Amino acid sequence: MGKLLIVGTVAFDAIETPFGKTDKILGGAATFIGLAASQFNVKSAIISVVGEDFPQEYLDLLSKKGIDLSALQIIKGGKTFFWSGKYRNDLNTRDTLSTELNVLADFVPVVPENFKESDVVMLGNLHPSTQMSVINQMRERPKLIVLDTMNFWMDHAWEELMEVIGHIDVITINDEEARQLSNEYSLVAAAEKIQEMGSKYVVIKTREHGALLFHKSKVFFAPALPLREVFDPTGAGDTFAGGFTGYLAESRNISFQNIKNAVIHGSTLASFCVERFGTERMNDLEKKEVNNRLLQFRELTQFDIELQ
């Protein structure tokens, strides 16, 4: 069975959208990635850190999904990383109300022995040095290393970010971040520059529009499923990454054709994530629902033109 190693935050989120607000609920990049990847037939592990305040029920939820939590550090007397934010009406912009690093401030990831030979490594958004440390601990070069990052690290840890981009296969970022990273407005030009930095494949998420996949002269676009209501976008990017890497870890086929499919699987799972607050929609998501939505994606995009 394919092995997927995930590093990223496991956290508390408090979210406000135009449709409502939550108290502290389960969040974090690794959480969303792990839940999405659990839709596939893979052996996955999360490397992360939480405090003593992290509820057993959340740990049980992740364990029941088959996620190995032996590298999830629980710090005695520590408090779990906490983020709270409020989305504006268009749901595209959000204001961070509070970020409490807590136990994340001193986090040193330790790759478990039995995951040092993983097929796919998913580096969730964290300090690039932390991400690099995970790569350095691998016994063998994984078939695929996927990086998620954000503008904050471009502003504050440029050199460390460049180093990690030099060691990965795929980067997933949004359009604004791709423009900042490359200093190019055109996403085609941006993707070229980012490939020159070292990432063989570039996935640019154009928010509610979809995701573009670039590799050399090839380009593929997966639209986001047009939804009547987007309830809470939190975790959509991480869910995309989880579907993307989960599918590739299961199929262990790194052809462009199959990476296209991974983008479709990522988009499909992300379309569920935004329907409820936090991880709510992902917790009990069934294979049948996912398959139905994959059929909708096919309807949404497939056409048959005869060329004359």
- Interface ranges with a second copy (CB under 8 A): 89-90, 185-189, 206, 209-210, 212, 218-223, 226-230, 257, 260-261, 264-265, 287, 291, 294-295, 298-305, 307-308
Q: Are 285 and 272 in contact (CB under 8 A)?
A: yes
d(CA 157, CA 270): 28
- Using alpha carbons only, give the angle 18, 239, 182 rounded to the nearest 5 degrees: 90
Q: How far is the CB of 235 from a second copy (least distance, A)?
A: 20
Q: Which is nearer to a second copy, 63 or 258 (CB)?
A: 258
Exposure string for 120-157, b = 16+ CB within 10 A, e = fewer: bbbbbbbbbebbbbbbeebeeebbbbbbbbbeebbeeb
Q: How far is the CB of 66 from a second copy (least distance, A)?
A: 17
Q: How far is the CB of 206 from a second copy (least distance, A)?
A: 6
Q: Are 294 and 264 in contact (CB under 8 A)?
A: yes
Q: Which is nearer to a second copy, 108 or 307 (CB)?
A: 307
- Quick one: tokens of 233? 């976008």
Q: How far is the CB of 82 from a second copy (least distance, A)?
A: 30
DSSP designation for 33: H
Can you list the alpha helix ranges (DSSP code H) found in 95-235? 128-137, 151-156, 158-165, 175-182, 187-197
Q: How far is the CB of 89 from a second copy (least distance, A)?
A: 7
Strand-strand pairing, 20-21 and 94-100:
unpaired
Q: How far is the CB of 10 from a second copy (least distance, A)?
A: 29
Q: Which is nearer to a second copy, 15 or 202 (CB)?
A: 202
